[in-house]
Amino acid sequence: MVFIYLLINEWGIQYLPQKKDRSDTTFIISRAGLHHSGNYSCVYSPNHYTLSEVAKKGDDIIQILVIANFLPADISIVGSSTVHEGDYVEFQCTVSQHLHTLGGCKFIYAYLRKNDTILLVQVFNVSQMLTTFIIDGAVLRDSGHYSCIVLPSKCFYEHEHTVHGTNKVFLQVKVNLISSRLLRYGVITLMVLLVVCLWWIIQQTGKCAHAGGTAG
């Protein structure tokens, strides 16, 4: 029996015993994290060592890069954080640390969140480490806490002009028929009432004129 050691950047992280009748050993990292990025290699020994005692690299090296699903970014408001209704609001989303993207992507996705709900999606320029979100014509419901995150594991290709779903639907908004009928009937009723009022005024004016002539 020999002991097989898995190393990352020349430091032991796992070991497994292997019997002489076996030709391979499988190491499993169940939940990969950003700290698992590095150069992996294997060494073996008939002696059992603690992981802290193993500091060596194997003959074959495999490089593994773990990319974050979502990465928090820094957000700021261009100008004052207090605006009036109808004002133009601009958010800037930046990342200060180096980004590892899938296949060296130049453009990835960035998300503007309001109160932990995704509000807008924008393209993030990796070379500039910057993207801009715009709210044109702010309303009262736009008040809230905003944050920004980026997605390094999803590449945005330059030929994609818009962020879209798998299909599209058409929405047509029509006037409520019941409301329009009520409005029409209300106008007709008002006109009838006006005619009746005018007729009553004319009648009353005629009676007053007749009474005045009789009295004279």
Looking at residue 116, its pLDDT comes to: 78
CATH of residue 123's domain is 2.60.40.10
Residues 99 and 135 in one domain: yes
Q: How far apart are the first and last CA of the chain?
A: 139
**66 vs 29: CA distance, rounded Å:** 12
pTM here is 0.54
**202 vs 140: CA distance, rounded Å:** 52
Residues 59 and 76 in one domain: no
Read off the pLDDT of residues 93-119 as tens digits, 9 standing for 90 and up: 999 888 888 778 899 999 999 887 888
Structurally, how many domains does the chain consist of?
Answer: 3
Range of the domain at 186: 181-211
DSSP codes of every residue in 76-132: EESS-S---TT-EEEEEEE--SPP--GGG-SEEEEEEEETTEEEEEEEEETTTTEEE
Does residue 162 surpass a pLDDT of 80? no
Residues 11 and 81 in one domain: no
Contact at 8 Å (CB) between 89 and 123?
Answer: no
Q: What percent of the chain has pLDDT over 70?
A: 81
